[in-house]
Amino acid sequence: MSAKPKVIIVGGGFGGLSAAQALKSALIDVTLIDRRNYHLFQPLLYQVATGSLSPGEVAAPLRGVLSRQKNTRVLLGDVQDIDPAAKRVVLADGASFDYDSLIVAAGSQTSYYGHDAWQQWAPGLKSVEEATNIRHKILYAFEVAERLTDPAQRRAWLTFVIVGAGPTGVELAGAIGEIARQTLKNDFRSIDPEDAQIILLDGSPRVLMTFPEDLAQKAERSLAKLGVQTKMNTMVHDVDRDGVGIQVNGSPQRLTTKTVIWAGGVTVAPFARPLAKRTGVETDRSGKIKVGADLTIANFPDIYVVGDLALSLDKEGKPLAGVAQVAMQQGAYAAKAIVRKVKGQPKQEAFSYFDKGNLAVIGRAAAVANVFGVHLSGLPAWLVWALIHLLYIVEFQSRVVVFIKWAIQDVTFSRGARLITGDAPTDFNFNREIASGGSASSSKVA
Amino acid sequence: MSAKPKVIIVGGGFGGLSAAQALKSALIDVTLIDRRNYHLFQPLLYQVATGSLSPGEVAAPLRGVLSRQKNTRVLLGDVQDIDPAAKRVVLADGASFDYDSLIVAAGSQTSYYGHDAWQQWAPGLKSVEEATNIRHKILYAFEVAERLTDPAQRRAWLTFVIVGAGPTGVELAGAIGEIARQTLKNDFRSIDPEDAQIILLDGSPRVLMTFPEDLAQKAERSLAKLGVQTKMNTMVHDVDRDGVGIQVNGSPQRLTTKTVIWAGGVTVAPFARPLAKRTGVETDRSGKIKVGADLTIANFPDIYVVGDLALSLDKEGKPLAGVAQVAMQQGAYAAKAIVRKVKGQPKQEAFSYFDKGNLAVIGRAAAVANVFGVHLSGLPAWLVWALIHLLYIVEFQSRVVVFIKWAIQDVTFSRGARLITGDAPTDFNFNREIASGGSASSSKVA
Predicted confidence at residue A135, as pLDDT, reads 93
H or E segment and range at residue B262: strand B259-262
Shortest Cα distance, chain B CAs vs residue A243, angstroms: 23
Asked if B291 and B312 touch (Cβ cutoff 8 Å), the reply is: yes
CB contact under 8 A, B446 and A414: no
Query: Which residue among B56, B184, B422 sits closest to A129, beta carbon to beta carbon?
Result: B422
What ipTM, to 2 d.p.?
Answer: 0.79
d(CA B298, CA B89): 18
Q: CA of B442: which chain A residue's CA is closest?
A: A97
Average pLDDT over chain A, rounded to an integer: 88
Mean pLDDT value across chain B: 88
| The pLDDT value given to residue B182 | 87
Q: For testing the chain A interface, which of B136, B138, B397, B441 should be mutated: the one with the most A CBs within 10 Å?
A: B397
Percent of chain B predicted with pLDDT > 90: 67
> What residues are paired with B39 via a beta bridge?
B60
Q: Of A2, A187, A400, which is closest to B64 when you measure between CB atoms? A: A187
Report DSSP letters for A342-354, one per residue: HTTPPPPPPP---
From its phi and psi, is residue A174 left (phi > 0), alpha (psi between -120 and 50) or beta?
alpha
pLDDT level of residue A432 (50, 70, 90 thresholds)? low
**Is B433 one of the catalytic residues?**
no
Closest alpha carbon within chain B to A418: B61
Could you tell me the pLDDT band of residue A62, with boundaries at 50, 70 and 90? very high
> What is the torsional sign of CA A218, A223, A227, A228?
negative
Q: Which residues of A touch B61 (CB under 8 A)?
A: 187, 418-419
Between positions 412 and 441 of A, the ones with CB within 8 A of B are 412, 414, 416-422, 430-435, 439-441
CB contact under 8 Å between B37 and A439, yes or no, is: no
Residue type, A68: R
The minimal CB distance from B54 to the residues A56, A64, A88 is found for: A56
Query: Does residue A410 have a pLDDT over 70?
Result: no
Identity (one letter) of the amino acid at A98? D
Per-residue pLDDT at B374: 86
Helix %, strand %, coil % of chain A (to 5) = 35, 25, 40
C-alpha to C-alpha distance for B41 and B324, rounded to whole angstroms: 9
What pTM, to 2 d.p., does this model score? 0.85
Using an 8 Å CB-CB cutoff, list chain A residues near B445: 6, 29, 31, 73, 97
Model confidence band, residue A88 (pLDDT cutoffs 50, 70, 90): very high
Among positive and negative, which fits the CA dihedral B132, B134, B138, B141? positive
pLDDT grade for B265, boundaries at 50, 70 and 90: confident
- What is the C-alpha to C-alpha distance for residues B84 and B303, in angstroms, rounded to an integer? 8
Which of A4, A54, A10 has its CA nearest to residue A29?
A4
What is d(CA B342, CA B29) in angstroms, rounded to the nearest whole number? 12
SS3 A401: helix
Nearest-neighbour CA in chain A from B228: distance (Å)? 24
Q: For residues B18 and B334, is the Cβ–Cβ distance under 8 A?
A: no
Give how far B372 is from chain A: nearest CA, Å: 33
What are the helix and strand counts (H, E) for chain A? Answer: 12, 25
Average pLDDT over every residue of A389-405: 63
Contact between A417 and B36 using a beta-carbon 8 Å cutoff: no
Q: What is the pLDDT of residues A185-230, one digit of tens each?
A: 889 999 999 999 999 999 999 999 989 999 999 999 999 999 999 9
- Mean pLDDT, residues A334-339 taken together: 98
Residue ranges of B 143-172 with Cβ closer than 8 A to chain A? 143, 146-147
Q: At A393, is the pLDDT very low, low, confident or very high (cuts 50, 70, 90)?
A: low
- DSSP letter for each residue of A209-239: TTS-HHHHHHHHHHHHHTTEEEE-SEEEEEE
**Contact predicate A40/A58, CB 8 Å:** yes
Which chain B residues are Cβ-neighbours of A409 within 8 angstroms? 397
pLDDT at residue number B395: 56
How far apart, in whole angstroms, are the C-alpha atoms of residue A244 and residue A231?
A: 13
* Number of other residues whose CB lies within 10 A of the CB of residue A400: 18
Residue B436 has pLDDT above 60, yes or no: no
Q: Distance (Å) from the C-alpha of residue B416 to the closest C-alpha of chain A? A: 6
List A377's β-bridge partners, or say none.
Answer: A368
The answer to whether A411 contacts chain B (CB < 8 Å) is no
A441 with B96: Cβ contact below 8 A: yes
Q: Which of A98, A190, A408 sits opposite B442 (nearest CB)?
A: A98
Q: Greatest CA span in chain B, whole angstroms?
A: 82
From the list A221, A150, A148, A139, the residue with the least C-alpha distance to A180 is A139
Q: Give the A window 21-40 contacts with B, CB below 8 Å.
A: 29, 31, 36-38
Higher pLDDT, B128 or B389: B128
Tens digit of each residue's pLDDT (9 = 90 or more) over B352-386: 999 888 888 887 667 888 888 888 888 888 888 87
Q: Are A93 and A77 in contact (CB under 8 A)?
A: yes
How close does chain A come to B362, measured CA to CA in Å? 22
Catalytic residue among B57, B146, B171, B178: B171
Size of interface A-B (CB pairs under 8 A): 228
**Helices first, then strands: H and E counts in chain B:** 12, 25
pLDDT tens for residues A132-150? 999 999 999 999 999 999 9
Interface test with B, best of A37, A126, A188, A396 (most B CBs within 10 A): A37
- Mean pLDDT on B283-296: 95
Return d(Cα B322, Cα A93) in angstroms, integer: 46
**Does B97 sit within 8 Å of A445, measured CB to CB?**
yes
For B295-321, letters b (16+ CB in 10 Å) and e give bbbeebebbbbbbbbbbbbeeeeeebe
* Nearest residue of A to residue B77, measured between CA atoms: A431
- Is A37's CB within 8 Å of B139's CB? yes
What amino acid is encoded at A403 in this protein?
F
**Contact with chain B for residue A1, Cβ under 8 A:** yes
Does residue A175 carry a pLDDT above 80?
yes
Residue in B67, B190, B441 nearest the CB of A96: B441
Residues 6+ apart with CB under 8 A from B28: B4, B5, B6, B7, B71, B338, B339, B342
Q: Which residues of A touch B186 (CB under 8 A)?
A: 67-68
What are the tens digits of pLDDT across the range B184-232? 988 999 999 999 999 999 999 999 998 999 999 999 999 999 999 999 9
Element (H, E) at B409: helix B396-412
Q: Residue B306: pLDDT above 90? A: yes
Strand A59-61 and strand A72-76: pairing?
A: unpaired
Q: Is A409 left (phi over 0), alpha (psi -120 to 50) or beta?
A: alpha
Q: How far apart are CA B176 and CA B142, in angstroms?
A: 11
Contact A401 B409 (CB under 8 A): no
pLDDT digit string, tens, across residues B97-141: 999 999 999 999 999 989 999 999 999 999 999 999 999 999 999
SS3 B276: helix
Q: How far is CA B112 from its chain centroid?
A: 15
Nearest in space to A44 (alpha carbons), one of A360, A383, A426: A360
Buried-exposed string A218-253: b where 16+ CB fall within 10 A, e elsewhere? bbbebbeebbbebebebebeebeeebbebeeeeeee
End-to-end CA distance of chain B: 75
Q: Please give, rounded to a whole number of angstroms, the shortest distance from the CA of B356 to a CA of chain A.
A: 29
In a 3-state reduction of DSSP, which class is residue A197?
Answer: strand
In the predicted structure, residue A443 carries a pLDDT above the cut 50: no
Residue B411: per-residue pLDDT: 58
Q: Kindly report the backbone phi and psi dihedral angles of residue A411, in degrees, each rounded to the nearest multiple of 5, phi listed first.
A: -85, -40
Residue numbers of A annotated as active site: 171
Q: Is residue B101 within a helix (H) or strand (E), and if so which, with residue range?
A: strand B101-104
B184 — contact with chain A (CB < 8 Å)?
A: yes
Mutate to test the interface with B, among A73, A83, A144, A403 (most CBs of B within 10 A): A73
